């Protein structure tokens, strides 16, 4: 007999510096594998191009802190001065249904998840060159100010260094199709974890 508990989904963490193209890669993975993409909560301001409940659930700081106290998050972290967190319940429900679950989160959050769920697959997206990050941030139309972009570029270096140490797979996002194919192959178990 198959109960919900017998079904076991697959938890996949995708991280990478700002401007590397995480959201594009993640939405392609969702289409290709019919995966469940977790919608994070955040206290950062909503950009004009973003939809509440789709890109993020935008919360006030008070609401976010209340949800921390209620233990509503699988993980949360302060990133660039704002809170970001993964709501626990939808992730657990999707895993219990046997689905592939994608978390698009930063390195701090990824390490918290890995502690709780050592079977999670950790994938880090790298830019082909670092100057591309600045260019992609300039053209993505989020309306970020120069200070925020500078902060994000500075953080990119330390995130990449930490990722080499902790992540199972590093994938270069130069050609989008190739990067998507590589991530799909990793999730499907066709690419082994490097030693
Ligand atoms: P952005 O403001 O560019 O959308 O996201 C900033 C950073 O926060 C990115 O590295 C993104 O992956 C990360 N992030 C988004 N959602 C979450 C989350 O739920 N938890 C954590 N720890 N990081 C997140």
CATH number for the domain that contains residue 139: 3.40.50.300
CA 79 / ligand 1 centre spacing (Å)? 7
Residue 61 maps to a domain: yes
Give the separation between CA 16 and CA 9, rounded to whole angstroms: 23
Kindly tell me the burial class for residue 194, based on how many C-beta atoms sit within 10 Å of its own C-beta (0-12, 13-18, 19 or more). Answer: exposed
Is 130 among the domain residues? yes
Is the beta carbon of 159 within 6 A of some atom in ligand 1? Answer: no
Query: Ligand 1 mean position to 3 CA, how many Å?
Result: 34
Q: What is the pLDDT of residues 125-150, one digit of tens each?
A: 999 998 899 898 888 877 788 888 89
CB of 149 within 8 A of CB of 83? no
pLDDT of residue 140: 80
Cα of 87 vs centre of ligand 1, distance in Å, is 13
CA distance 153 to 171: 19
Residue 116 has a pLDDT of 95
**Domain coverage including residue 122:** 6-187
Determine which residue's CA is closest to atom 22 belonging to ligand 1: 109
Question: In this structure, is residue 192 part of a structural domain?
Answer: no
Structure tokens at 145: 């100010």
> Is residue 10 domain-resident?
yes
- 193 in any annotated domain: no
- Note whether 86 and 19 are within 8 A (CB): no
The per-residue pLDDT for range 33-77, each reduced to its tens digit, is: 999 999 999 999 999 999 999 999 999 999 999 999 999 999 999
Please report whether residue 1 resides in a domain: no
Ligand 1 pocket test target in 15, 17, 76, 106 with most atoms within 8 Å of CB: 106
Per the structure, the count of domains in the chain is: 1
18 in contact with ligand 1, CB cutoff 6 A: yes
- Predicted pLDDT at 84: 98
195 lies in some domain? no
The answer to whether residues 167 and 123 touch, using CB atoms and an 8 Å cutoff, is yes
Convert the pLDDT of each residue in 7-31 to its tens digit: 689 999 999 999 999 999 999 999 9
Q: How many whole angstroms separate alpha carbon 165 and alpha carbon 59?
A: 32
Ligand 1 closest atom vs CA 86: 19
Atom 12, ligand 1: which residue's CA is nearest? 105
Rounded-to-integer distance, Cα 98 and Cα 9, Å: 4
Distance 46 CA to ligand 1 centre (A): 13
Beta bridge partners of 75: 86
Q: Which helix (H) or strand (E) holds 182?
A: helix 176-187
Residue 114, domain member (yes or no): yes
pLDDT at 109: 98
- Comparing CA positions, the residue from 38, 39, 59, 9 lying closest to residue 187 is 9
Residue of minimum CA distance from atom 9 in ligand 1: 106
CA dihedral 156, 159, 161, 163 (to 10 degrees): -130
pLDDT at 2: 44
For the segment 165-190, what is each residue's pLDDT rounded down to a tens digit? 999 999 999 999 999 999 999 999 98
In this prediction, residue 1 carries a pLDDT of: 43
């Amino acid at each position: 007999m198959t109960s919900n508990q017998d079904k076991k989904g697959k938890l996949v963490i995708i991280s990478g510096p700002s401007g590397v193209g995480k959201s594009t890669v993640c939405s392609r993975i969702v289409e290709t594998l019919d995966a469940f993409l977790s919608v994070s909560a955040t206290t950062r301001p909503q950009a004009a191009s973003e939809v509440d409940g789709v890109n993020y659930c935008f919360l006030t700081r008070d609401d976010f802190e209340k949800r921390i106290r209620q233990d509503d998050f699988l993980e949360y972290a302060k990133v660039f001065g704002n809170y970001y967190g993964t709501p626990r319940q939808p992730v657990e429900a999707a895993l219990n249904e046997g689905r592939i679950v994608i978390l698009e989160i930063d390195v701090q959050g990824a390490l918290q998840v890995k502690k709780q769920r050592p079977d999670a697959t950790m994938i880090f997206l790298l830019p082909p060159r670092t100057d591309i990050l600045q260019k992609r941030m300039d053209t993505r139309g989020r309306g970020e100010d120069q200070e925020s972009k500078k902060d994000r570029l500075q953080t990119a270096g330390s995130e990449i260094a930490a990722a080499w140490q902790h992540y199972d797979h590093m994938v270069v996002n130069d050609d989008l199709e190739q990067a998507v194919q590589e991530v799909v192959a990793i999730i499907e178990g066709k690419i082994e974890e490097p030693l």
